[in-house]
Amino acid sequence: MEPWGRETAAAAMREIGCTEAGVAIMRDKAVFCVIRVHDLPTKAANVVKQTFLSKGADAAVSRHAVDLSEERTDVLLFATLAQYRAAAAVLLRQPWGLDVLARDILALLEM
């Protein structure tokens, strides 16, 4: 057993006969990644969660995020590379430093 990255997934798709167009479409859907974001403002964390949910991904936040009873929370992001890219495109246009978070995510995943 071994974890697969984007290029390993692409190579396996080529091995089974996928076209290059198919590989380009699917390789970022083949890799799931969990990222922990530290110390976001709670209102920003709620925007992040809704954004990820809208892309078919998810985000775990503190139970205090919903009622804003705490000012800050860590966030766990659960998504494929394709979902990260789609969510980042939305976060780039959001307030509270989420544009910086989006760029950090894209850089971390080398997108």
- DSSP of 37-69, one letter per residue? EEEEEHHHHHHHHHHHHHTT-EEEE-TTTTTT-
Q: Is the pLDDT of residue 1 over 60?
A: no
Q: How far apart are CA 60 and CA 34, in angstroms?
A: 11
Residues 42 and 21 in one domain: no
Boundaries of domain holding 101? 32-108
Return the percentage of the chain with pLDDT > 70, whole number.
96
* Banded model confidence at residue 3, pLDDT cuts 50, 70, 90: low
Quick: pLDDT tens for 29-82: 888 999 999 999 999 999 999 999 999 999 999 999 989 999 999 999 999 999
The HSE-up count of residue 96 (CA atoms within 13 Å, CB side) is: 13
Which tokens go with 13?
């798709």
Q: Is 84 exposed, middle or buried (0-12, 13-18, 19+ CB in 10 A)?
A: buried
Which tokens go with 59?
């985000």
Q: Give residue 2's pLDDT.
A: 64
Q: How far apart are CA 23 and CA 11, in angstroms?
A: 9
Kindly report the CATH number assigned to the domain that includes residue 63.
Answer: 3.30.1370
Residues 38 and 70 in one domain: yes
Which tokens go with 104?
């950090």
Q: Is the pLDDT of residue 4 over 80?
A: no
The residue length of the chain stands at 111
| pTM given for the model | 0.86
Task: Tell me the pLDDT of the chain averaged across its residues.
Answer: 93
Is the backbone of residue 39 left (phi > 0), alpha (psi -120 to 50) or beta? left
Residues 97 and 53 in one domain: yes
